[in-house]
Amino acid sequence: MITIAIDLMGSDLGYEELSKSVIQYLNEEKDRRVILFGDQEKIKPLFASIDSSRYEIVHCEDVIPMEIKPLDFLRSKKASLYKAIDAVRNGKADAILTAGSTGGFVTGCSMLLKNIEGVTRSGLCTPFPTAKEGKGTVILDVGASNVNQSEDIYGFARMGRIYCQNVLDMENPSTFVLSNGTEEGKGTDEIIGAYKLLKDNNFPNFQGNAEARNVLDGNHDLIVTGGFCGNIFLKATEGMASIMNGLIKQSFKRSLLTKIGYLFSHKGFDKMKEIMDYRRFGGAILLGVNGVAIKAHGNSNTYAFYMAIKVADQMVKSDIVNKIKKEFEHQDEKQAD
Amino acid sequence: MITIAIDLMGSDLGYEELSKSVIQYLNEEKDRRVILFGDQEKIKPLFASIDSSRYEIVHCEDVIPMEIKPLDFLRSKKASLYKAIDAVRNGKADAILTAGSTGGFVTGCSMLLKNIEGVTRSGLCTPFPTAKEGKGTVILDVGASNVNQSEDIYGFARMGRIYCQNVLDMENPSTFVLSNGTEEGKGTDEIIGAYKLLKDNNFPNFQGNAEARNVLDGNHDLIVTGGFCGNIFLKATEGMASIMNGLIKQSFKRSLLTKIGYLFSHKGFDKMKEIMDYRRFGGAILLGVNGVAIKAHGNSNTYAFYMAIKVADQMVKSDIVNKIKKEFEHQDEKQAD
């Protein structure tokens, strides 16, 4: 039976919103269990409709702050996020899910779950919506590390491919390195080195560099890059999307005529909103640690958090952690030859 | 008298489009001259209306390709871009403007004009449109270098400030370092070091780190970062804007109703297009070399290229190169103390 450890603290929207997602999940999937971390008094009444064998509440009072140093995390043993990750470490749960602090999530998973043997760096991986309806693009690392070597980025491609195949049903994902030009030899030393490793190892469906302006055109499945630039990319696109959405609203509000225009055309724009809705992808996944670890957006509503639970479920079901272990064992053997 | 060296080759739209901008400029500013580089046969008839004392044509047949290695550039002495930059080097012109190869432009200016003494790296600087109408944000480096030290990024702030004050009429530009978090200590070693240099030197109106998602909200005047990430930022925002524009078009085309909606609301969207139009900023400027050097977009139309000429004119008029020289002399003295 799959058991998911769910940190209910630290989200922007609170217990009620997230609990609805958990209840929907438990009602739909009959052979699943959850362990819930947070304020027992608040959680208990929300789960009154659920059979008590299906869930356990671990009472926590402390919440990990948005910014936390590694040593401080290790001292926060009473915090919900610490305890939720620890449940995966000691085998009580198969996956950890939180909508709390990203920094705490990455630090905690790295320290408690540790990297899979052979993985030089874990990578935070996010699927992005693209210009093509229904088509996502997976990018990693979007911020687990600041500094990456070529080997790390090569590792991101190997883990990202397994994720794409097992969670997003991409059979043979086209794989690119994010750089400042498409030609071989473009970019920083790490990027050039990652390109070379992918090419020299005949990485399946490796298609060279991609430029940031083309990444989301719907023709790219998997993009790998260092964590600092990946984070800049993630937030730059978020920022621009938010500016454009604001301008669209302004455009419709400009005059009586444009307001009438809105009445006629809003259905088209609802569809656009749906295409660009990142929430259906369920948040970010930390690939490369010993356990399934998902970080939902801080402002996840019931739908978004439900999608994140589904991703966790799918990752456990498809045995991704062991598949990554196998991939990196295999590489070690090859290198030992 | 101000003389601008204009490379008319290498643009996407060709001689006629660019020449119209030059003619408009010459008609408006009576005490200016231009030196035009390109095919004499093609240029001459386009300038029939202009007094021959106002312009000179330097016939060139070769064009610098989009990608060029430094040594190959040095061998391309017959190319229009080489000759145009060389006109600034040997004092025949005050500024160089091209809509051709960015790589060739940066390489050529760096090699022929050389960095101003004390400048560790020149920086390619672009003003971006923001969410606030009429308000631009200046970002550098957006791709002159791949690898930058903290000192380079600190230098970008010093040069960027002079540019903001002299070309964009910002009296005391708020200055930020692009990073993956707003707190001090966030980012790569170079970013953390640049933050420290700006803080320790009491850089005027330094306001700490900025995250990529907020950079274009209209509350940031000057953003400095390394060239690789700056380039990712530039292209990520361009890419997202282009995707959203595509989706807006699709939204209006979705049904007969949405098409009617367009008829009513398109004026609002025309305004949005105007707000987001990067062309009014006239392209990218290479700061830190011995000369005014402007790279207009490859697809610049008459309006965009005219704006680029105006920026070149303004930069010469406000004596930016000497102001940067003075700023860096000054620092050398301070360090020698």
Listing DSSP states for A160-202 in one string gives HHHHHHHHS--SS--EEEEESSSSTT-S-HHHHHHHHHHHHTT
Q: Does residue B261 sit in the same domain as residue B126?
A: yes
Distance from CA of A252 to the nearest CA of B (A): 6
Phi-psi category of A271—alpha, beta or left, where left has phi over 0 and alpha has psi -120 to 50?
alpha
Of A187, A246, A264, the CB nearest to B260: A264
Number of domains in chain A: 2
Are B195 and B269 found together in one domain? yes
Q: pLDDT category, B337, cuts 50, 70, 90?
A: very low
Q: Is B217's Cβ below 8 Å from some Cβ in A?
A: yes
Question: What is the distance in angstroms between the Cα of B165 and the nearest Cα belonging to chain A?
Answer: 26
Which of A180, A239, A258 lies closest to B216 in CB terms?
A239
Residue A108 lies in a domain: yes
Q: Is B254 in Cβ contact with A271 (below 8 Å)?
A: yes
Is A283 part of any domain? Answer: no
Judgement on whether residues A176 and A312 belong to the same structural domain of the protein: no
Domain boundary among the residues A231, A252, A278 is at: A278
In a domain, B283, yes or no: no
A74 within some domain: yes
Whether residues A238 and A301 fall in one domain:
no
Q: Output the CA torsion sign for A24, A26, A31, A34.
A: positive
Identify which has the larger pLDDT, A192 or B330.
Answer: A192
Q: What pLDDT is attached to residue B73?
A: 93
Q: Is B147 on the interface with A (CB under 8 A)?
A: yes
Residue A66 touches partner B, C-beta closer than 8 Å: no
Global ipTM: 0.91
Digit-coded pLDDT (tens) for A258-311: 898 888 888 888 888 888 877 777 789 999 999 999 999 888 899 999 999 999
Domain end, chosen from A235, A255, A278, is at A278
* pLDDT-based confidence at residue A331 (cuts at 50, 70, 90): low
The residue-averaged pLDDT of B253-281 equals 84
Q: Is B216 on the interface with A (CB under 8 A)?
A: yes
From B175's Cα to the closest Cα of chain A, the distance in A is 18
A126 and A256 assigned to the same domain = yes
**Residues A153 and A272 placed together within one structural domain of the fold:** yes
Whether residue A67 lies within 8 A of chain B, CB to CB, comes out as yes
Residue at A40 is within a domain: yes
Q: Cis ω on the peptide bond leading into residue B141 (within 30° of 0)?
A: yes
Same domain, B244 and B314: no
User: In Å, how far is A20's CA from the nearest CA of chain B?
Assistant: 30
pLDDT at residue A337 in the model: 44
A75 shares contact with chain B (CB less than 8 Å):
no
Chain B interface mutation, best of A148, A264, A271, A275, highest count of B Cβ atoms under 10 Å:
A264
Percent of chain B with pLDDT over 70: 98
Cβ-Cβ pairs closer than 8 A, A with B, add up to 196
Q: Is B193 on the interface with A (CB under 8 A)?
A: no
Domain membership flag for residue A79? yes
Helix (H) or strand (E) holding B163: helix B150-167
Of A152-166, A264-278, A322-336, the range with the lowest mean pLDDT is: A322-336
- DSSP state, A148? -
Task: Return mean pLDDT, chain A.
Answer: 92
Q: Does residue A180 lie in a domain region? A: yes
* Residue where one domain finishes, among candidates A234, A251, A278: A278
> Is the four-CA dihedral A63, A66, A70, A72 of positive or negative sign?
negative
Same structural domain, A101 and A131: no
pLDDT at A282: 76
**Rounded Cα–Cα distance for residues B221 and B214 (Å):** 12
Q: Report the CATH number that the domain containing residue A307 is assigned in CATH.
A: 3.40.718.10
Domain co-membership, A164 together with A246:
yes
Residue numbers in B near A272 (CB within 8 A): 247-248, 250-251
Residue B330: pLDDT band (50, 70, 90) is low
Task: Clarify whether residues B2 and B62 are in a common domain.
Answer: yes
The shortest C-alpha distance from A93 to chain B (Å) reads: 31
Q: Do A296 and A252 share a domain, yes or no?
A: no
Domain span holding position B7: 1-119+288-337
A10 with A299: CB under 8 angstroms?
no
Residue contact B271–A254, C-beta within 8 A: yes
Higher-pLDDT residue of A227, B332: A227
- Looking at the domain assignment, is residue A312 inside a domain? yes
- Residue A212 confidence class, pLDDT cut points 50, 70, 90: very high
Residues A143, A217 within the same domain: yes
